[in-house]
Homo-oligomer: A and B are copies of this chain.
Amino acid sequence: MSANHTSIETLRWVGDQDGHLVIIDQTRLPTELVEIELRDADAVWEAIKSLRVRGAPAIGIAAAYGVCLGLQGGGECDEADFWRRLDEVTAHLAASRPTAVNLCWALQRLKETADQHRGQESVALRAALLAEARAIHDEDRQMCRAIGRYGAELLSDGNGVLTHCNAGGLATADYGTALAVFFAAHEAGKRLHVYADETRPLLQGARLTAWELQQRGIDVTLICDSMAAQVMREGRVQAVVTGADRIAANGDVANKIGTYQIALAAAAHEIPFYVAAPTSTFDLSLSSGDQIPIEQRDPAEITHGFGRQTAPDGIQVYNPAFDVTPARLIRAIICEKGIIQPVSEASIAAMFADKPSCS
């Protein structure tokens, strides 16, 4: 495992038009740092579905490159065939993780790009799509830095902070959303102590967040999800920052299961609860969080999660991947355009008046 974080890239495109995508297989962390090559859209679908690449922004980037992979090969092709394949591959990739809106947003951007080049030869169309995927990737890097810059202002030297799941570099193109806030504060000389929830069932906090913070030399303590309220009660935490998978027009936030419970605990202790997410995470077509579809996942993630069976045979399991935190529990949303506070339909509309809804 490399201790040099600057050499770690969550995902990268190798080569040109007929290149391929390389990602860190996040299911192997923290004990192994392994990169895998994805050479067709199915491989990208599988990598997203299996959480080899995860985190809303990173999923969006991977899906954009996945469209390029799905349209590779065959040189010049029939125009009707190109558009049929584009529809097929975007529909397929969109179904890999139903909650992450960035996925739909990235796919929509690629379809719009293709539309703008309608009538051109398929080689030119494919070049335009790869350029757009690269633009999404580049914009994400800028987004992470901007979120970090805005969010760092909310933290003070000496703060204890808590986060859930992984909204770090591994969830994005660069250094994350929630973790970007910590990284930027740290770079600005503010000493932080981070409490990282392990985040059952898939332990992204233990495997990924703890690893990323450790790699960057930030003081981090791992806890179980059930310990967050106790850590707050003991006065160890002055702010909570999490990412988001989808944000409705009223500010309700879908994020990793357990986020809502932590927001309730933060409210009970009068600790500010912040969400850090790019504008691509907003889905203004949804008036509230009640309309956000919640992905249900495999029971085996809970019953056989640690390499050993930990529940009786035949047990019923409920395994929602996400929950919805109502806007009233969120002190502010940190996005790359600035800080939305208070969180309300009006304040969101004011910042995102020009944002198209996800279709």
Contacts and interface: CB of A to CB of B under 8 A. Distances in A.
Contact of A229 (B207, B308, B323): B323
A207 B264 contact: no
B228 A315 contact: no
* Size category, A interface: 35 or more
Contact of A226 (B31, B207, B225, B233): B225
A120 interface: no
A222 interface: yes
A227 interface: yes
A221 interface: yes
A286 interface: no
A198 B303 CA distance: 9
B306 A206 contact: no
A33 B63 CA distance: 47
Nearest to A301: B224
A224 B200 contact: yes
B200 A316 contact: no
A222 to B, nearest CB: 5
A323 B233 contact: yes
A257 interface: yes
A83 interface: no
A233 B292 CA distance: 15
Given A214-B315, A264-B265, A226 B257 contact: yes
Given A197-B226, A200-B226, A229-B260, 10 more contacts: A199-B226, A206-B311, A221-B315, A222-B311, A222-B315, A226-B226, A230-B257, A233-B323, A268-B268, A306-B307
7 nearest A-B pairs in the assembled complex, by CB-CB distance: A226-B258, A306-B306, A229-B261, A307-B308, A30-B312, A225-B226, A200-B224
14 contacts: A30-B309, A198-B200, A198-B302, A203-B310, A206-B311, A210-B312, A210-B315, A214-B314, A223-B319, A227-B323, A229-B261, A230-B257, A306-B307, A306-B308
